[in-house]
Structure 1
Amino acid sequence: MPLPEFAFKLRTFGTGFSKVTRHLLTETKPEDVTLLQFEILHFLYTEDSATFGQIGACTGMSLPNTSREVKKLIQKKLVTKRADLKDKRVYFVELSPSGQELMTASSAKLERLISGQYAHLNPEDVNEVMQALDLLSEKLLGE
């Protein structure tokens, strides 16, 4: 396949996937957190803990903006921060017990939404899509 065609297909898929992801996150986020804060919580739910730099890289925010949003989540008692034992300048952010509870409930809601949205797929289609996702993760994300 010529590289421009590959780039076009990848960009088109990425844009569509981004729209679906944004819609699902918007539908599952609690009312009292912004979409950006929910993205941080979702990242921490999958990563367990992260530095401010890692959070900023994932969300595309600057370090000052990341710090401001994490501070708001700390005030809402959804995350905690702790200093690295080896380097006191580095802080790790983690979900608090109430943040973990919120994200577990949101994850269950997300599963229900996905199940409903893709209920039309038969088991063979689901298996085929899962294999395609595994292949994309391996070839494009190195996972």
Structure 2
Amino acid sequence: MPLPEFAFKLRTFGTGFSKITHRLLTEIKPEDVTMLQFEILYLLYTEDSPTFGRIGACVGMSLPNTSREVKKLMEKKLVTKRADLKDKRVHFVELSPAGTELMDECSARLERLIAEQFAHLNPEETAEVMQALDLLSEKLLGE
């Protein structure tokens, strides 16, 4: 495939996927949490004990802004932080039990919304899409 056509198709798919993802996340996000805070919670739900630096890198924020948003989530009792035993300057952020419960509920809602969104696919089409997603993950994301 010529590179310009590949880039165009990838950009078009990425834009469409981003729109669907944003819509779904907006629908499952709790009202008392900002989208940015929800992105942090989702990262903590899918990644084991990241540092403040890792969180900032993943959501595109500076370290001071990351610290401020995590502090807000701590005040809501949704996350906790703990110091590294070897280097007290390094802190890990984790979901609290209340945060885990909230994200379990959000994950269940997301699964229901995805099922509704793609209910029109028959089993063969679902298998094809899953195969395509595996291929995209392997070839484009290296997973």
TM-score band (shorter)? over 0.9
Partner of 1:126: 126
Partner of 1:33: 33
Letter in 2 for 1:13: F
In 2: Cα distance, 1:11 partner to 1:88 partner = 43
Show CA shifts across 1:12-38 (max 9, x none). 111111111110000001111011100
Pairing 1:61-140 to 2, within 5 Å after superposition = 61-140=61-140
Letter in 2 for 1:25: L
The alignment's TM-score, normalised by the length of structure 2, stands at 0.97
Give the superposed CA RMSD: 0.8
Structure 1, unmatched stretches of 5+, are none
CA shift at 1:63, angstroms?
A: 1.2
Partner of 2:58: 58
Q: Secondary structure at the match of 1:49?
A: coil
Letter in 1 for 2:101: E
In 1: Cα distance, 2:62 partner to 2:9 partner = 30
Letter in 1 for 2:90: V
Structure 2, unmatched stretches of 5+, are none
Show CA shifts across 1:35-61 (max 9, x none). 110011011100121111111111111
Contact 1:37 1:69 in 2 (8 A): yes
Letter in 2 for 1:116: E
Show CA shifts across 1:67-119 (max 9, x none). 11001000000000011111111110000000000000000000011111110
Flag as ranges the 4+ runs of structure 1 deviating above 6 A: none
Pairing 1:4-19 to 2, within 5 Å after superposition = 4-19=4-19
